Structure 1
Amino acid sequence: MQVSFTVLGEPKGKARPRFVKGHAMTPKDTANYETLVHMEYLSQCGDKKFSDDAMLDMRIKAYYSIPKSASKKKKAAMAMGMIRPTKKPDMDNVVKVIADSLNQVAYKDDTQIVDCQCRKFYSESPRVEVRIKEII
């Protein structure tokens, strides 16, 4: 089985938990983005869920906005993929927020992901494209 879906908007990363009176709290921005990923998965992939013992391969393409301040030449190079983002959020935090959002939705737990790739690009339409497939 394989599923693919897209989350429109600027890529976000998993923020560090905040501690309030000794309790860890997920920042509101992160919780909202996790909910968005969760809802986009359900709307685009329906109730498809991988089996609890499936080994999974996750591929993520994160498309960041092209800065308005960039020159025309630089914007063209960014759009063609010749210049790629070296800015936050870090790709490991992008993977973490996507993988955590899909726990109990696309799969039982993100520990089932045994192979993962995250690539960063610039685009006029910022988004995150996710593909998950079972390794057989």
Structure 2
Amino acid sequence: MMVEFVIPGEPQGKGRPKFSRQGNFVKTYTPEKTENYEAHIKACFMASGAGMIPQGVEIGMEITAFYSIPKSTSRKRAALMRDGLLRPTKKPDYDNVAKVICDALNKIAYYDDAQIVEAAFAKFYADEPRVEVRFWKINERR
């Protein structure tokens, strides 16, 4: 069972938790931008029509992030970026992009992201920014 879906828009990373003091207590919360992006990821997954992978099943995942080409880039450099010869080294880091996706899919695509035992991640430039996500049951690889 291979599940594939696309998250349109510029790739975003998982935001750091925020803290606020309320009297003698400290409240921890997720930034609104991260919550909105996680909701967007969930909606994209649900639109794919895929079901949930049961608890205890090992999962492999592949995430490919496509960043927009900066407007100030020369035509020559933009062509190299489109061909995958120049790759993004900018933020967000790969681990933060993967973290927000894996966390958003908890309880809707799989029971827990601890089931992911194999993963690959790549960053490229493209005219249309997006994130492509693929995952599968390990024993049914591709």
TM-score, length-scaled by structure 1: 0.97
User: Aligned residue for 1:34?
Assistant: 38
* C-alpha separation in 2, matches of 1:105 and 1:28: 20
Distance in 1 (CA, whole Å) between partners of 2:130 and 2:3 is: 17
Aligned to 1:45: 49
Measured on the aligned residues, the alpha-carbon RMSD in Å equals: 0.7
- Within 5 Å, which residues of 2 pair with 1:1-136? 1-21=1-21, 22-46=26-50, 48-136=51-139
Q: Which structure 1 residue ranges, 5 or more long, are not aligned?
A: none
Normalised by the length of structure 2, the TM-score is 0.93
Question: Stretches of 4+ moved more than 2 A in 1?
Answer: none
- For the residue of structure 1 that corresponds to 2:77, the secondary structure is helix
Q: Which amino acid aligns with 1:12?
A: Q
Work out which of the two has the higher radius of gyration on C-alpha atoms and give 1 or 2: 2
* Distance in 2 (alpha carbons) for counterparts of 1:74 and 1:85: 12
Kept in 2, the 8 Å contact 1:3–1:45? The answer is no
Q: Find the aligned partners of 2:57 and 2:49 in 1 and give their Cα distance.
A: 18
Using the aligned pairs only, state the percent identity. 47
Equivalent residue of 1:53, what SS? coil
- Give 5+ residue unaligned stretches, structure 2: none
